[in-house]
Amino acid sequence: MVNNVLIRCFTYFFILLFHSNIIHSSTSINFYPSFKHIVDQLSTNSTLPECTRTTCSQTETQANFSNINVSHEDLLKLSSFNRLNRKMNTAHGPYLISSTGIYHGKRIKYHNRYVDQFLGIYYAEIPKSLKKPIKKRFNYTIQNATKFSPYCMQSIMMAENLSYGSFVMQQSFNDNCLSLNIYRADLRHGEERKAIMLFSHGGSNQLGGGSLFDGSILASEGDIIVITMNFRLNYHGFLSSGDSRVRGNYGLWDQLLAVEWIYENAHLFGGDPHRIVLAGHSAGAGNVMLIPASPYCRGMVKRVISQSGTGLAPWSINRNPFKLLERFSQDFNCVRSDEQEMFNCVYQLLENSNGDIYRLHLSLNIADDNPYPVIDYDFINDTIENVLQSDVYKNVDFLTGVTLNEGLYFAEYHIKHLLNGLSNQSLSMGKAPLREKRSIIFPNSTAIIAPDITFTTNLENDKRLKEISEQSASTEQSASSLNVSVLLERFVKVNYIERYIDANFQHGKCFVDKVKKKYELSANKDVTTRLKLYIDLVSDLMFNFHMVRCLNLRAMVPKINSTNYAYVYAHRPTFKVKSAFRDQKLLPDAVGHFAELDYVFGVPLARNYSRIHRNVNMSFYNYTSDEINFSRKIIRYWSNFIKTGNPNLNPSFPDKVDTEWKSYTNKNHNYLYFQLNNIHNEINYFDSMYDFWLKCFLIEDQGGCTKGKIRKHLALFLFICSSIFILTISYLIWKYFQMKKKGQLFAHESPTTLLPHLGRVST
């Protein structure tokens, strides 16, 4: 009898096993309806089938749908398209089933096609301070995915007063922020399994969020899936002690978990898990190069797009993270004689603080204590230079580029604040004392470049906030009240080249004269030309040199199985970012940071679509038909690369692009030059600039000009000694064979007869 009961129990168990999806838990095993059953009921009446256990909606485990074979017809059902005529069923919206839950999104119309949006999908639980993220638990309920989640914690004051180019930041912040926004092209058209672009926003890893960028037009025009994400910023995301106590890189771990979520679930929403492309702008461009460099990425990323930044940029890695921790402790009264107590204080502050404890850095130099990624020997266990030349990156396609005048806004900021005499510590523009500098290309040298003006605020202290706001307003008013020409006339008298080089190089005196000759003296006394050259200087040291170095390192890799493409974006933006230099017509065609983003995300194409790019005030813009076509061309290049690794090829459309984008190789340094109505290839565009700065960094790496001369003379002395030694040995060898040839070697004379001494007296 007992045996029969056991047999029936096991039979029932295996019946459930083969007709259900199992979700594993450390405490129990829960059973769910089959994936097919869920799809049918969702598409029929927008409800979920009953669970086989009443506890399934309360589970704290993850669903595993990785082995589910989802047909295209099932995806159309979940998208609420009728199976036969594939018309939209207006009674139901699009659904998405994933390892973390079941989501009900929304649909918008763009031209004659639809775009499905799934917004605010959490890929991780609410993160603990200074801890790695944990995967989001599965929830067997239909969750609303029609609204964005809050941004991750950041400076409220800065977010209120700054925009990201033409994109306005939202004002909602929360610790529960680790979410994705998915924009999917119409599943009825194009590829059945669509390539995926995951975008990492910029903002110095201190500001911004995924909802800045609406991916609808890029997805629809490019027939791809665009995903944006939130990740932890500032102290929450990048505070580190430089060792195992507080490893850091939590913001990178967040982004890697987002990649993993997409890799595991792509097949469930029409994506191709083998074509995940990471794209990023500015700080995000650095991030997306670091993620494939991690051993934990395990080949999940197929391609990388780095816009206005790379993983080699001097601001992409914090090489002295403990200074940030010390400064943070000092600013918020966490200094303790016992370091563990200090760590506990910092942890509690981050965990419980409701105030604005965040700061933004902008100045002449990059501070080592900026909240950026670190080499932690966990997420990142080698230099990026080495990784780029290793097998890790051999199969990763790469596209990168810069705008024509990347340093425009940074240079303008330098000029205004230098002339306002901001020399106090909290708003320092000078050379940071006690700064340990390092090379951006050689790990043992000491060069650093990037911005550092800081505002530290605490919203609990209204008086302090008011003081800083008034000080900032006063600074801007004082600078802007001057005529720009007068402003520049004053600027050229303050030794600005020396200041910039001194702020960024330990041994800049060795080559500052050459820098002045290249970036100042060639302008003679023309102030506008001097301004252009200073912008070039800032652009070259913050962005351009490091992009070229990255491309060259990639191009030198033997037997590389991937592609490299580079661009220069040169179309003046329409958006109204404040720039005194442009507004007063000194540099009307300057193309600064952010300029290409409008065109990549299709803002010019959104004129008659009020539900797209809602954080962009379209009334401010007056895009021409040429600019609309220009945006379409850029989207085509980007989406082609996302799909194939070649911006010229589209698997869905056989027609070619108007201008072939030539790849960047070791022999041919090609750049596609994006200019309105004149997209063309440029050869060796940055070569002379790169060669100039490479020599400067070599001097810096050698420890300066004095040590360099000593090394040079020592090398000459050793060469002379070695030459003399070699010549001596050669002569002796030659002499040896000559003597041997003549038979003189080891020859002995015949013995002579001994004669008695003539003066000897005989006895």
The H-or-E segment that residue 65 falls in is none
Q: Is 660 a catalytic residue?
A: no
Question: What residues make up the domain containing 602?
Answer: 248-503+513-633+659-687
Is 293 domain-assigned?
yes
Mean pLDDT over each residue of the chain, to the nearest integer: 82
Question: What does each C-alpha distance from 415 to 135, 192, 513, 544 come to in angstroms?
Answer: 46, 53, 21, 21
Render pLDDT for 680-739 as a digit per residue (tens, 0 to 9): 999 999 999 999 999 999 999 898 887 555 566 667 778 888 888 898 888 888 878 777
Is 233 domain-assigned?
no
Asked if the model's pLDDT at residue 537 lies above 70, the reply is yes
Is 306 domain-assigned?
yes
Per the residue annotation, which of 216, 282, 308, 539 is the catalytic one? 282
pTM: 0.83
Distant-in-sequence, close-in-space partners of 368: CB < 8 Å, separation ≥ 6: 318, 319, 320, 321, 323, 324, 435, 436, 437, 438, 448
User: What is d(CA 456, CA 464) in angstroms, rounded to the nearest whole number?
Assistant: 9
Render pLDDT for 540-564 as a digit per residue (tens, 0 to 9): 999 999 999 999 999 999 888 999 9
Is 668 domain-assigned?
yes
- What's 606's domain CATH number? 3.40.50.1820
Encoding tokens for residue 105?
A: 């999104």
Section 141-147 average pLDDT? 95
Question: What does each C-alpha distance from 433 to 362, 430, 504, 506, 700 come to in angstroms?
Answer: 17, 9, 12, 12, 19
Specify the range with the lowest mean pLDDT, choosing from 282-296, 436-450, 681-695.
436-450
Q: What is the CA angle 34-40-41, rounded to 5?
A: 95
Does residue 206 sit in helix, strand or coil?
coil
Find out whether 568 and 682 touch, Cβ atoms under 8 Å: yes
Helices 321-331 and 339-352 meet at what angle, rounded to 10?
A: 70
Q: Which three-class secondary structure string do you get for 375-391?
A: CCCCCCCCCHHHHHCCH
Render pLDDT for 150-173 as a digit per residue (tens, 0 to 9): 999 998 877 777 778 888 888 889
Is 157 domain-assigned?
no
Render pLDDT for 566-613 as a digit per residue (tens, 0 to 9): 999 999 877 655 666 766 668 888 999 999 999 999 999 998 898 899
Is 711 domain-assigned?
no
The H-or-E segment that residue 477 falls in is helix 462-480
So what's the pLDDT on residue 49?
Answer: 87
User: What is d(CA 121, CA 144) in angstroms, rounded to the nearest whole number?
Assistant: 9
Q: What is the total count of domains within the chain?
A: 1
| Residue that is written with structure tokens 């050379």 in the block | 431
Is 148 domain-assigned?
no
Per the residue annotation, which of 406, 520, 596, 700 is the catalytic one? 406
Q: Is 306 a catalytic residue?
A: no
DSSP category for residue 655: S
- Of 666 and 83, the one with more pLDDT: 666
Is 365 domain-assigned?
yes
